[in-house]
Structure formats: C-alpha cells, structure tokens
C-alpha cells in the first residue's frame, strides 16, 4: 500500500470514490463541489488533496497549496484505525468531540445536519479502506 495521503494513495482514493455510487452519485445529486484536504494533526498543511466536481473526484494528489473547502485531520494511528474499521455516525461524532478528528477548514456540524452530505461523508471512510 502506498503511504497514506501520498500522490499514489490519493489517486487510488479518487478511483474508489468515483466507483462508489453511495458517495459520488449521492453527491452529484446535490451538485457537491469541493476541494478536500486530508492530513495529520499537528502538520502545517494537509498531505493530500481531492478535488470534487459535481460529486465526482476529478483530480487527486499531494497537497500543493490549493485553496480548501475542507481540511480534515487526525493522527496517523487514528486514520489507520478508520481504514481498518470505518466509523459510523456515532464514532465520527465521538472522534470530533474528543478532538481525534479535526476540521482545520470546513464546518463539521453543518455538514452532519444535512443527511445528503452526512451519509456520503461516512461512506468516504469505507472507500478509503479500499485503497
């Protein structure tokens, strides 16, 4: 497996993202467009970035200073735990309130209040586990 959030890993994530209807098709239905950074707590910037246009991932790779709509961080150990066993809504809520998951950019609370976004967000963790 490529290093977590490396260029190769992010490109694999993009392929799996687009192959999962509960993620890409669900987000296409609401016209979701976003630039999402992924990385580790304590780092100055995210490691990887995924660009989503109308629900589909259109580019992915190492972060190179793109303006982000979302910047999601956790420890490397926590990410690996989620890759092995994707969290559900309750697990993500606990991770957020305990600061195991942090949003450097983006509003976690408003996203979870919208079921059209919450379901795909949760699904993204199981998709990550396929990379």
Residue 50 inside a domain? The answer is yes
Residue 2 inside a domain? The answer is no
Note whether 81 and 91 are within 8 A (CB).
no
Residue 62 inside a domain? The answer is yes
Residue 56 inside a domain? The answer is yes
Residue 76 inside a domain? The answer is yes
Residue 58 inside a domain? The answer is yes
Note whether 101 and 121 are within 8 A (CB).
no
Residue 52 inside a domain? The answer is yes
Q: What is the CATH number of the domain that holds 124?
A: 3.30.1050.10
Half-sphere exposure of 71 (CA within 13 A, CB side): 15
- The radius of gyration of the chain from alpha carbons, rounded to an integer in Å, stands at 13
* Average confidence (pLDDT) over 98-111: 86
List the domain range (segments joined by +) for residue 104.
7-128
pLDDT band at 96 (very low <50, low <70, confident <90, very high): confident
Residue 98 inside a domain? The answer is yes
Q: Quick: pLDDT tens for 26-68.
A: 999 999 999 999 999 999 999 999 999 999 999 999 999 999 9
pTM of the model: 0.93
* Average confidence (pLDDT) over 1-25: 93
Helix (H) or strand (E) holding 73: strand 70-74
Measuring CA to CA, which residue among 46, 76, 77 is closest to residue 61? 46
pLDDT band at 2 (very low <50, low <70, confident <90, very high): low
Per the structure, the count of domains in the chain is 1
């Amino acid at each position: 497996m490529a290093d977590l959030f490396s260029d190769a890993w992010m490109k694999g994530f993009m392929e799996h993202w687009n192959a999962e209807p509960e993620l890409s098709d669900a987000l296409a239905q609401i016209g979701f467009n976003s630039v999402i950074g992924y990385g580790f707590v304590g780092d100055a910037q995210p490691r990887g970035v995924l660009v989503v246009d109308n629900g589909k991932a259109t580019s992915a790779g190492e972060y190179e200073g793109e303006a982000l709509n979302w910047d999601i961080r956790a420890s490397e150990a926590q990410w690996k735990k989620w890759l092995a066993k994707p969290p559900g809504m309750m697990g993500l809520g606990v991770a957020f309130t305990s600061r195991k998951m942090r949003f450097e950019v983006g509003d976690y609370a408003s996203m979870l209040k919208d079921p059209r976004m919450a379901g795909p967000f949760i699904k993204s963790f199981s998709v990550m586990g396929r990379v």
